Amino acid sequence: MDIAISNGRIVEKVDERKAEVIDASGMVVMAGGVDIHSHIAGSEVNAGRLLRPEDHRKDVEVKTAITRSGVGYSIPSTFTTGYRYSRMGYTTVMNPSMPPLEARHTHEELNDTPMIDKASYPLLGDWWFVLEYLRDGLIEECAAHVAWMMRATKGYAIKIVNPGGPESWGFGGNVESIDDPVPYFNITPRDIIRGLCKVNRLLNLPHTIHVHTNNLGKPGNYITTLETMRCVEDLATEGKPAIHITHCQFSAFKGSDWRTMKSGAEDIAKYVNSHNHVTLDMGQVVFTDTTTMTADGPFQYRLYGLTGNKWVNHDVETETCAGIVPFRYSRRSSVHATQWSIGLELALLIKDPWKIYLTTDHPNGAPFTKYPQVISWLMSRVARKKVIKRISRRARRNSLLPNIDREYDFYETAIVTRAGEAKALGLKQKGHLGVGANADLAIYNVNPRLVDPSKEYGTIRKAFSRAAYTIKSGEIVVKDGEIVRPVQGRTFWVDIKLSSPMEPTEELRWKFRKYWTVEFENYPIPEDHLTASVPITVEARI
Amino acid sequence: MPAVSHVPCPVCGDFCDDIEVTVEDNVVTDVKNACAVGAARFLNFAGHRQMKPLIRKNGELVEVSLDEAIRRSAEILADAAYPILYGWSSTSCEATRVGLELAEEVGGVIDNTSTICHGPSILSIQDIGISSCTLGQLRHRADLVFYWGSNPWSAHPRHIERYTMFSEGRFRQSAWEKYLSSLGGILTRKRLQRAVNLLLGRRLSSPPEVEQGLPYTMFQKKRKMVVVDVRRTRTAEAADYFLQVKPNNDYELLQALRMLIRDEELDVDEVAGVPVELLEEVADVMIGCELGILFFGLGLTMSEGKHRNIDAALSLVRDLNQYTKFLIMPMRGHFNVTGANVVFTWQTGYPFAVDFSRGFPRYNPGETSVIDILCREESDAALVIASDPVAHFPKTAAQSLVRSPLIVIDPEPTPTSFMADVVIPSAFVGIEAEGTAYRMDHVPLPLKKIVEPAKTCLSDVEILQRILHEVRKMRGGP
Amino acid sequence: MQLGELMPKLKVSLLTGRTIDQGTGRERGKFSEEYERSVAVCQMDPDDVRLLGVRENDIVRVSTDFGSVILRVAKSARNPHPGVIFIPYGPWASLIVDPETHGTGMPSLKGLPAEVEPAPEGSLLSLPELLRKHFKKG
């Protein structure tokens, strides 16, 4: 079949005599990759870049006539980030952690991240306004303020990290379960998750609440994850998802301590297989040296305690926090190897590929440049076996993978790396090749009729590492894995229309001055601050 | 006349954004809420300007057209084998972005003022990490505030009132009243002490009796401030406690505190001029607080030990987190030196001293930092913007700088522009030009334009873009 | 002290840094009188001033291994700090600080060993004169 492109969109047909023709015979054609969760911009990411000059030194990008220079490895500089995603055939990336007070920083970095369309999720789970309104049961007021905040920060979705944790971390504490009350605020993580889930529905946002669970990284936390998914079961409507659990691997540990730690993927998969209100992304680990960075301050401090590595902490007034610790995953560590296994188990045990997406929670599990390797593991049992042979014995014994025969085919791979994510994000024009879609395509040099991915996983990996063609908004930007045309990419955000728009009241301004150290007028980001702004209008239910 | 409010002040790292400025006929006539230095900036910026572009011909600076100055600048940079692009801390992030592109284009070294300021702090952070926060976190929660080798009263005048002791937070009250009531006591005590000294023929400035222990206020559940410095600064006067440390002995003092908070015994009676008994009490107060913050300044980065002093400070705060919540923050001097670090880092991976001579970013302070390059006489041209290295670099480095062709972009005449070969007048960012800048705690805020600049004074962004464009033309590029 | 007699020299530790006057003076322009006054000054402990045999506003010479400079004396209000002198950041201080960065990029601008002596025959240069003298340009 042929695909026709005109003016940046896929159309029914074009005049072939006037068109540029790409012969993609013998190759796989997919929509451009969509990454639902990757830390690529903002204060937390940049603090990570600053922290790791040694990480950059081993991986440099030389300036060319059309591309800027830069550095990798686990936290690439902005230009390099854009180029590397594009070389892999990705065209849309979501930056999942944006402290609202520093949203301007996130957008400035996104402006300097070429080649891809992007958006960012403001961290709202511990925002004082949210905590107070939900505590007082004022869901509609909360929703109105969240709408204001989305516009002020040019955000795309509601991000919640270890709800209650960041506020407790303000004084060095944490929450231990979803019913553990947040000090000073008389509200529990369960209230926060449910409250924001309702807010999300009232505002009609394209994506669900995006949740990093409590107790991340703790043996036995799979229980918390199940509770988190259960706690919004009754809020699901029309069989549509109500919650997205991100980098689920880190939240799928069984056991009571590091010695007895093992996989909780089976229980989680069982739940997900029988419920339609949840989507997940993997958070796959790869054995390499990388950098962890999340808004889970207490977790990151604990990681510092475990490793003794350098540790950055950044608390953001009134809103959230962040922590960064370099981390090396080793195949010889039974814990790390089990983590490696868990990510794949989740993807293979969850039957419906529309419910689970491929991520490494870049850079937490591994740099995003490792995606092709993860794809090869999903598509080939043999590739998995090769790794299992060399991991820690205890992890090998406990791993469920040896008993899992399933191998992804190209369609399933396309779903977990683009179509499913676009659908979960509500990006209707992305992730597919139907008429009307954005003309974002990736053509990979692998012939599905000739190549058996199960056996030729090396070919798969190579093919997905360097796209034969990447097409962005109808222009060829990558050829044979090299940038041939630098483009800007656009920044998406939700422009929420309330039935009665919220005017900043005197009370809001007064509260603002009490809560923050910046003036109300200087807080919101004007639209023209985004180099290529694409607001997505949304009609709220209030 | 209506006032423009919420104007961020483009002077120091406090980056106060609540300034109110009255503008009449394009002239600033009144300023509210600013400190003395901020007010001086808004009221006087127009009074001492570089108005016309200049080029040095036959030893003298003569007026030229902007086009000629831009062309000459581009020539200098394009012809140079190893040019330096320095400054960036007092201009907008947008200008720094163009500067990085320019430095990459000409294969030069780009460095900002952290190289002679908090560079060592950055080196330390890269080794150890840092437990920090935004300033509001302290307003709301800090009950123990340390200013170490830093004198906000002189260098960051509104810091204490906006962010720490005299600010009102959700969980903490302001200590202003406590300070006011003790002020009378402080002044009386000083006068009394002088009188007694005069009577008894003692040295007028003899040190006050060393207090046997910390004052009772240090053990109250209110905000407390401790100043550690080599001399009793104005900030020290307002503190609940002042620790006078022997010059160049901060490292020992910090390490001693690290030992004490872990209940380790010290073999000595005093460290850095401070009795160990006193230090033990200080350690107890540190562990006993609810949230402590250690602000540090150039007293640590510039004295002997440099980044090793910061290593010790960062490690002390990190270790304290085992017992309580403790944070640390460098007191950045210029209003956008943080912004310069931030932009450098996201575009190149490195915060300062970035060398593009091999076509990709390289970072090796001591080798690629500007003072060292100048002292080794390795550079053969320089562009200086938003800073005054001739006034602030050690003589050898400054002399090396002026010996090669020197381009200066600045709103006003400075010792550096005095020595320049090309001078390009620019608009004052934050008053005559917009942009973004980052506060000392990494919070980004918009700089406002409240006055129209003269036609001959373009913004830094425009000037740099023109130079970049010329350089590309000369190299046959797009 | 009579001219021609042995002048005392004080060994001190040199500090450089910011002051409010230097900050506000600088806002009046780098070539303004306020700025020059605010940075061409050496703040000393009052007892050290007496030991040196000078008075407030007298002229002294401060020397380090890297150079020497003529400055005006001011009695420090931040006393006591015997043996420590303070010169605000600026062109005068920069002439005598240590460029050695010890591989960190940061020169040594505080805690330098220095000597102070009265210089009754010396005269305070204006900023342009100072720059021309030391840089042979401008």
pLDDT tens figures, A380-407: 999 999 999 999 999 999 999 999 999 9
**In this structure, what token pair is assigned to residue B392?**
């602030």
Percent pLDDT > 90 in chain A is 96
From B345's Cα to the closest Cα of chain A, the distance in A is 6
In order of B252, B300, B311, B407, the CA distances from B271 in angstroms are: 7, 16, 18, 48
Task: Read off φ and ψ for residue B469, nearest 5 degrees.
Answer: -60, -45
Please give the CATH architecture assigned to the domain spanning C10-135: Beta Barrel (2.40)
Do chain A and chain C touch with ≥3 beta carbon pairs under 8 Å? no
Work out the pLDDT band at B210, boundaries 50, 70, 90: very low
pLDDT at B209 over 80: no
From A18's Cα to the closest Cα of chain B, the distance in A is 28
What pLDDT, on the 0 to 100 scale, is given for residue C7? 56
pLDDT at B1 over 70: no
Percent pLDDT > 70 in chain A is 100
Q: Region A85-107: what's the mean pLDDT?
A: 98
Domain with CATH 3.40.50.740 in chain B: 50-117+335-429+450-474
Contact B388 C95 (CB under 8 A): no
From B357's Cα to the closest Cα of chain A, the distance in A is 11
Question: What residues does B327 pair with on adjacent strands?
Answer: B293
Sketch the domain layout of chain C as residue ranges: 10-135
Contacts of A18 (CB under 8 A, 6+ apart): none
In a domain, A525, yes or no: no
How many C-beta atoms lie closer than 10 Å to residue A462's C-beta?
16
Q: CA-to-CA distance for C92 and A161, rounded, in angstroms? A: 53
Instruction: Assess A65–B contact: CB distance below 8 Å, yes or no.
Output: yes
User: Which residue's entry shows tokens 């991340």?
Assistant: A216
Instruction: Assess A53–B contact: CB distance below 8 Å, yes or no.
Output: yes
Question: What residues does B383 pair with on adjacent strands?
Answer: B85, B407
Residue to test with chain A: of B348, B448, B449, most A Cβ within 10 A: B348
What pLDDT, on the 0 to 100 scale, is given for residue B178? 77
What pLDDT, on the 0 to 100 scale, is given for residue B199? 76
Instruction: Identify all chain B residues contacting C98, using CB atoms and an 8 Å cutoff.
Output: 394
What pLDDT, on the 0 to 100 scale, is given for residue B201? 64
Residue of A51, A60, A171 lying closest to B360 (CB–CB): A60
User: Which residue's entry shows tokens 């960036």?
Assistant: B88
In a domain, A103, yes or no: yes
In a domain, A526, yes or no: no
Work out the pLDDT band at A33, boundaries 50, 70, 90: very high
Instruction: Assess C29–B contact: CB distance below 8 Å, yes or no.
Output: yes
In a domain, A65, yes or no: yes
**In this structure, what token pair is assigned to residue B92?**
């907008």
Domain count for chain A, please give it: 1
pLDDT at A422 over 50: yes
Domain with CATH 3.40.228.10 in chain B: 119-330
Residue of C84, C110, C128 lying closest to B302 (CB–CB): C110
* Subunits with 3+ C-beta pairs closer than 8 A to B: A, C
Three-state DSSP class for residue A408: coil
User: Which residue's entry shows tokens 């603002």?
Assistant: A512
Contact A517 B101 (CB under 8 A): no
Question: B119-330, what's its fold?
Answer: Dimethylsulfoxide Reductase; domain 2 (3.40.228)
**In this structure, what token pair is assigned to residue A82?**
């854009």
Pairing of strands A70-71, A60-61: antiparallel
Three-state DSSP class for residue A137: coil
pLDDT at A144 over 70: yes
Contact C111 B155 (CB under 8 A): no
DSSP 8-state class, residue A373: H
How many C-beta atoms lie closer than 10 Å to residue B405's C-beta?
21
What pLDDT, on the 0 to 100 scale, is given for residue C110? 84
Task: Read off φ and ψ for residue B287, nearest 5 degrees.
Answer: -70, -30
Which residues 317-336 of B are in CB contact (within 8 Å) with A? 318, 321, 324-325, 327
- Of A200-209, A506-515, C121-130, where does mean pLDDT reach its minimum? A506-515
Q: CA-to-CA distance for C73 and C56, rounded, in angstroms? A: 5
Q: Region B204-208: what's the mean pLDDT?
A: 48
Chain B: residue whose CA lies nearest to C23: B37
User: Which of A392, A292, A411 is closest to A335 using CA atoms?
Assistant: A392
How many C-beta atoms lie closer than 10 Å to residue A474's C-beta?
16
Contact A310 B140 (CB under 8 A): no
In a domain, A317, yes or no: yes
Contact B131 A313 (CB under 8 A): yes
What rounded mean pLDDT belongs to chain B? Answer: 92
Instruction: Assess A318–B contact: CB distance below 8 Å, yes or no.
Output: yes
State the CATH number of the domain containing residue A416.
3.20.20.140
Question: What residues does A291 pair with on adjacent strands?
Answer: A326
**In this structure, what token pair is assigned to residue A92?**
């849309």
Indicate the burial class of A330 (C-beta count within 10 angstroms; 0-12, 13-18, 19 or more): middle
What pLDDT, on the 0 to 100 scale, is given for residue C1? 46
How many C-beta atoms lie closer than 10 Å to residue B462's C-beta?
14
Contact B132 A68 (CB under 8 A): no
Instruction: Identify all chain A residues contacting B290, using CB atoms and an 8 Å cutoff.
Output: 171
Instruction: Identify all chain B residues contacting A67, using CB atoms and an 8 Å cutoff.
Output: none
User: Which of A101, A143, A141 is closest to A122 using CA atoms?
Assistant: A101
Instruction: Assess C102–B contact: CB distance below 8 Å, yes or no.
Output: yes
pLDDT at B212 over 90: no
Q: CA-to-CA distance for C102 and B305, rounded, in angstroms? A: 9
Spatial contact of B425 and B414, defined as CB atoms under 8 Å apart: no
Instruction: Identify all chain B residues contacting C96, using CB atoms and an 8 Å cutoff.
Output: 395
Q: CA-to-CA distance for B53 and B67, rounded, in angstroms? A: 9
Which residues 20-79 of B are in CB contact (within 8 Å) with C? 36-37, 40-41, 44-45, 47-48
Instruction: Assess B378–C contact: CB distance below 8 Å, yes or no.
Output: no
Contacts of A164 (CB under 8 A, 6+ apart): A125, A126, A175, A180, A181, A182, A187, A188, A189, A192, A214
Percent pLDDT > 90 in chain C is 61
Q: CA-to-CA distance for B433 and A400, rounded, in angstroms? A: 62
User: Which of A336, A335, A217, A326 is closest to A287 using CA atoms?
Assistant: A336
Instruction: Assess C133–B contact: CB distance below 8 Å, yes or no.
Output: no
Contact A317 B135 (CB under 8 A): yes
Contact B203 C47 (CB under 8 A): yes
What pLDDT, on the 0 to 100 scale, is given for residue A41? 98
Q: CA-to-CA distance for B194 and B365, rounded, in angstroms? A: 49
Residue to test with chain C: of B60, B118, B306, most C Cβ within 10 A: B306
Residue to test with chain C: of B395, B416, B423, most C Cβ within 10 A: B395
Residue to test with chain C: of B37, B248, B350, most C Cβ within 10 A: B37
What pLDDT, on the 0 to 100 scale, is given for residue B222? 85
Work out the pLDDT band at B214, boundaries 50, 70, 90: confident
What rounded mean pLDDT belongs to chain A? Answer: 96
First to last CA, chain C: 39
Q: Region A416-444: what's the mean pLDDT?
A: 97
Chain B: residue whose CA lies nearest to C88: B392
Three-state DSSP class for residue A4: strand
Contacts of C7 (CB under 8 A, 6+ apart): C1, C53, C117, C118
Residue C39 corresponds to which amino acid?
A: V
Residue of B325, B351, B444 lying closest to A105 (CB–CB): B444
Q: B306: phi > 0 → left, psi -120 to 50 → alpha, else beta; which?
A: left
Instruction: Assess C111–B contact: CB distance below 8 Å, yes or no.
Output: yes
Do chain A and chain B touch with ≥3 beta carbon pairs under 8 Å? yes
Do chain C and chain B touch with ≥3 beta carbon pairs under 8 Å? yes
Residue B309 corresponds to which amino acid?
A: N
From B8's Cα to the closest Cα of chain C, the distance in A is 17
Three-state DSSP class for residue A225: helix
Give the helix/strand (H/E) hosting A477. Answer: strand A475-479
Chain B: residue whose CA lies nearest to A42: B346
Contact B207 C80 (CB under 8 A): yes
**In this structure, what token pair is assigned to residue B329?**
């923050």
What pLDDT, on the 0 to 100 scale, is given for residue B145? 97
Residue of B40, B369, B392 lying closest to C27 (CB–CB): B40
Instruction: Assess B246–C contact: CB distance below 8 Å, yes or no.
Output: no
Contact A304 B129 (CB under 8 A): yes
In a domain, A538, yes or no: no
Which residues 269-308 of A are in CB contact (within 8 Å) with B? 301, 304
Task: Read off φ and ψ for residue B295, nearest 5 degrees.
Answer: -90, 135
Instruction: Identify all chain B residues contacting A75, using CB atoms and an 8 Å cutoff.
Output: 349
- CATH assignment, B50-117+335-429+450-474: 3.40.50.740
Instruction: Assess B34–A contact: CB distance below 8 Å, yes or no.
Output: no
Pairing of strands A117-122, A90-98: parallel
Which residues 409-468 of B are in CB contact (within 8 Å) with A? 436, 438, 442-446
User: Which residue's entry shows tokens 């000294």?
Assistant: B197
What is the extent of the structural domain holding A49?
A: 4-447+458-494
Where does A193-333 show beta strands of DSSP type E?
Answer: 209-212, 243-245, 253-254, 262-263, 278-281, 289-294, 311-316, 320-328
Instruction: Assess C75–B contact: CB distance below 8 Å, yes or no.
Output: no
Which residues 152-171 of B are in CB contact (within 8 Å) with C? 153-155, 157
Whether the model pTM is above 0.90:
yes
pLDDT at A153 over 80: yes
Q: CA-to-CA distance for A430 and A441, rounded, in angstroms? A: 10
Instruction: Assess C88–B contact: CB distance below 8 Å, yes or no.
Output: no
Question: What residues does A244 pair with on adjacent strands?
Answer: A210, A279
